[in-house]
Amino acid sequence: DPVVAGNDTATIAEDAAIPASGNLLANDTDADTTNPSPDVLSVTGFTIGSSPTVYAPVGAGGGAVTIPGVGLVSIATDGTWSFAPDADYNTDLSAGGSVFPTITYTVEDGAGSSDTATLIVTVTPTNDAPAATDDAVTTNEDSPVSGAVILNDID
């Protein structure tokens, strides 16, 4: 019987101390899992964004994969996954974030049936503390000075 893989989503806060995690196989099915000799579902590979590179999951010779400027993702053959975003990374375009690269993974049942699904993680922005920068200006004695002292301060 065919494997049916369901898409997965998760949400994590920017700069979260604990990575987002879950199990990709939790919503995937195969009718043969109730037979006396049930098929065991496993993740056999995954891609990130539009890259054609297929990564092997942990447990099949693979390891955690760094997504430059985004974070670190780890996917295991048993479907467990985790994602730790880079510092200050978020997916809120209105807050200066960027689109999370879709992770597409393949699920197989060991009997020749497979299907693909996606994992998309939303990283919500946090209100970072403002960073004040010292200002300095030089002028002649008895000459007024003006300027915007907050232009180089970031929030």
List the one residue out of 27, 11, 12, 24 whose CA is nearest residue 76. 24
Residue type present at position 43:
V
- Look at residue 155 and tell me if it is in a domain: no
Residue 83 forms part of a structural domain: yes
Q: What's the rounded mean pLDDT across residues 74-95?
A: 92
pLDDT in tens, 54-82: 999 988 888 899 999 999 999 999 999 99
Distance CA 104, CA 147 (A): 51
Report helix, strand and coil shares of the chain as percent, to nearest 5.
Answer: 5, 35, 55
Residue 70 placed within a domain? yes
45 contacts: CB under 8 Å, gap ≥ 6:
54, 55, 56, 57, 60, 105, 106
Residue-wise pLDDT tens digits, 11-56: 999 999 999 999 999 999 887 656 667 788 999 999 999 999 999 9
Is the residue at 72 inside a domain?
yes
CB 40 within 8 A of CB 110: yes
Residue 92 in any domain: the answer is yes
| CATH code, domain with 28 | 2.60.40
Among 5-14, 64-73, 139-148, which stretch is predicted with the lowest mean pLDDT?
Answer: 139-148
Number of domains in the chain: 1
CA-based torsion, 47, 123, 41, 74: positive or negative? positive
135 in a domain, yes or no? Answer: no
In a domain? residue 153: no
Look at residue 118 and tell me whether its pLDDT is greater than 90.
yes
- The residue type of 1 is D
Q: How far apart are CA 105 and CA 75, in angstroms?
A: 9
pLDDT at 144 over 90: no
**Structural domain includes residue 71:** yes
- pLDDT given for residue 133 in this prediction: 77
Domain holding 15, by residue range, is: 3-124
User: Does position 149 have pLDDT exceeding 80, yes or no?
Assistant: no
Q: Which residue has the tokens 């496993």?
A: 42
Total-model pTM: 0.79
Give residue 134's pLDDT: 80
> Quick one: pLDDT band at residue 97, thresholds 50, 70, 90?
confident
From the CA atom positions of the chain, what is the Rg in Å?
Answer: 23
